[in-house]
C-alpha cells in the first residue's frame, strides 16, 4: 500500500535498501522527499548530485579556500579528536575540504591522508597546513592509484547526505584494514526546523535518523555500530542569527571584503581577514547574545539541543 507511483508504470525504490515500500513526505519544486518504510531513510527524488560546478559557486566555499585557518572544525570533528579511537594509526579523510581537520588529526599523532573533488581546496590544504598526502580525486580513483594502501580509520564528515551513489561504502570497506573503523557525521533530521536551512535538494539528497543510519551501515557490512547525537554548540548556534537576519541586519560584508582581497599578499590578507572576522564577531555577540541565550535555553529545556547531527562509528567486519 505504500508503493509510490509517479506515472502509470513508474515507481520509486529506496535508494539505500532497494525496497519498494516508499511513501512521499514532502515536495519542493522539482524534488519529492520519500521515506522508506523498511530502512527508514528519507531521500529526495530525482536522486542526483548537481556535480562539482554547483559547489564551486558557493561563496562560503570560495572564502574557505582563500583562508583555511579561519574556518572552525565541525562539532563532530571535535568529538572525534577528543575521543580519538586508534590514535596514532593511519587515517583517510574523505571530503577533506581545506584540511583543517587533517591538520589537527596529524597533531594528535595520526598519519593522515585526504581526498576531495575540489582541487582548489586540496591546493589550499597543501599550502596552508603543509599536508602532502592529499589528493584531488574521488575515493574510487584513489583506490585505483593506491591499490595496496589500507587505513585504520576512514572519516567522512557531512558527506553522506550529498551522495547519489552509495557504492563508495564498498570502496571504504576495501580501503579499511581488518578491524578498521569508519567514522561519519550527518545532519539529524529530527533537528529544530530553523536548523534545517541548507538541508535542501539537490545539495543534500538524504535525511537520516539514528535508526536509518544504523540500518544502512549494517546493510553495508559494518559491525559494532554506534550512533550518537551531537549537541548544539553555543558559538556556532549564535552564528545562525546572521543567517536568519541576512538582508536586514547581516549583509555578509566581512566575507565579501575577504573575497575582494584575492590579489593581496598572503600575510596581509590573513591579518586583514583576522580583523574583519573579529569585527563581525563583536557585532554578532553585541546584537544577538541575549536572544541567543533565550533560544538556546529553550532548545535545552525542550530536549532539542541534542538533535543537530548524528555521529556514527562502525567497524569493518
Ligand atoms: Zn530503504
Q: What is this structure's pTM?
A: 0.82
CB atoms within 10 A of CB 48: 13
Identify the pLDDT of residue 240. Answer: 77
**Percent of the chain as helix, strand, coil, to the nearest 5:** 40, 25, 35
* Mean pLDDT (whole number) for 239-261: 69
pLDDT higher for 206 or 273? 206
Residue 281: exposure state from Cβ atoms within 10 A (0-12, 13-18, ≥19): middle
Q: At 263, is the pLDDT very low, low, confident or very high (cuts 50, 70, 90)?
A: low
> Cell 557525521 identifies what position?
185
Compute the distance from residue 235 Cα to the ligand 1 centre, in Å.
36
Question: Which sequence spans correspond to the domains of the chain?
Answer: 52-190+220-231+305-316, 234-301
The pLDDT score that the predictor gives to residue 100 is 95
- On whether the CB atoms of residues 115 and 137 are closer than 8 A, the answer is yes
243-264 average pLDDT score: 67
DSSP 128-162: HH---SEESS-HHHHHHH-TT--EEEEEEET-GGG
CA of 23 to the centre of ligand 1 (A): 11
Query: In this prediction, what percent of the chain has a pLDDT beyond 90?
Result: 54
Does residue 307 carry a pLDDT above 80?
no
**Cα(170) to centroid(ligand 1), Å:** 17
Q: Tell me the CA–centroid distance for residue 201 and ligand 1, in Å.
A: 19
Tell me the CA–centroid distance for residue 21 and ligand 1, in Å. 8
Ligand 1 centroid to residue 34 C-alpha, Å: 10
CA atoms within 13 A on the CB side of 92: 24
Find which of 25-34, 190-199, 205-214, 273-282 is predicted with most confidence, using mean pLDDT. Answer: 205-214
Flag the least confident range among 74-78, 175-179, 196-200, 285-289. 196-200
Q: Distances from the Cα of 217 to the Cαs of 80, 159, 173, 212, 220, in angstroms?
A: 18, 14, 11, 9, 5
Rounded to an integer, the average pLDDT of 202-225 is 96
Q: Assign domain 52-190+220-231+305-316 to its CATH architecture.
A: 3-Layer(aba) Sandwich (3.40)
CA of 218 to the centre of ligand 1 (A): 12
Highest mean pLDDT of the ranges 58-62, 74-78, 154-158, 293-297: 154-158
Q: Is the peptide bond before 46 cis (omega within 30 degrees of 0)?
A: yes
**Given this model, what pLDDT does residue 221 score?**
94
User: Is 10's pLDDT higher than 60?
Assistant: no
> Rounded to an integer, what distance in angstroms lies between the CA atom of residue 97 and that of residue 81?
17
Average pLDDT over residues 130-146: 96
Q: What is the pLDDT of residues 75-106, one digit of tens each?
A: 899 999 998 766 789 999 999 999 999 999 99
Amino acid at each position: 500500500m505504500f508503493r509510490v507511483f509517479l506515472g502509470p508504470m513508474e515507481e520509486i525504490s529506496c535508494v539505500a535498501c532497494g525496497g519498494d515500500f516508499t511513501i512521499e513526505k514532502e515536495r519542493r519544486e522539482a524534488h519529492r522527499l520519500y521515506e522508506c518504510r523498511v530502512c527508514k531513510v528519507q531521500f529526495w527524488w530525482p536522486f542526483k548530485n548537481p556535480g562539482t560546478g554547483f559547489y564551486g559557486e558557493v561563496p562560503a566555499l570560495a572564502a574557505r579556500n582563500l583562508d583555511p585557518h579561519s574556518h572552525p572544525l565541525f562539532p563532530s570533528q571535535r568529538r572525534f579528536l577528543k575521543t580519538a579511537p586508534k590514535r596514532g594509526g593511519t587515517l583517510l579523510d574523505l571530503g577533506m575540504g581545506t584540511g583543517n581537520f587533517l591538520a589537527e588529526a596529524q597533531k594528535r599523532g595520526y598519519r593522515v591522508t585526504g581526498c576531495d573533488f575540489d582541487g582548489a581546496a586540496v591546493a589550499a590544504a597543501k599550502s596552508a597546513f603543509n599536508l602532502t598526502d592529499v589528493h584531488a580525486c574521488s575515493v574510487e580513483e584513489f583506490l585505483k592509484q593506491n591499490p595496496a594502501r589500507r587505513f585504520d580509520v576512514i572519516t567522512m564528515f557531512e558527506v553522506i547526505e550529498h551522495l547519489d551513489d552509495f557504492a563508495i561504502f564498498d570502496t571504504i570497506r576495501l580501503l579499511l584494514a581488518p578491524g578498521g573503523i569508519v567514522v561519519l557525521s550527518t545532519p539529524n533530521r529530527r533537528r529544530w526546523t530553523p536548523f534545517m536551512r541548507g538541508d535542501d535538494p539537490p545539495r543534500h539528497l538524504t535525511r537520516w535518523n539514528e535508526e536509518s543510519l544504523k540500518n544502512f551501515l549494517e546493510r553495508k557490512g559494518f559491525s559494532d555500530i554506534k550512533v550518537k547525537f551531537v549537541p548544539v554548540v553555543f558559538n556556532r548556534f549564535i552564528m545562525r542569527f546572521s543567517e536568519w537576519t541576512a538582508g536586514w541586519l547581516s549583509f555578509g560584508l566581512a566575507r565579501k571584503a575577504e573575497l575582494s582581497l584575492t590579489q593581496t599578499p598572503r600575510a596581509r590578507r590573513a591579518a586583514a581577514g583576522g580583523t574583519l572576522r573579529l569585527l563581525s564577531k563583536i557585532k554578532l555577540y553585541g546584537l544577538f547574545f541575549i536572544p541567543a541565550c533565550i533560544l538556546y535555553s529553550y532548545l535545552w529545556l525542550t530536549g532539542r539541543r541534542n538533535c543537530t547531527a548524528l555521529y556514527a562509528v562502525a567497524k569493518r567486519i
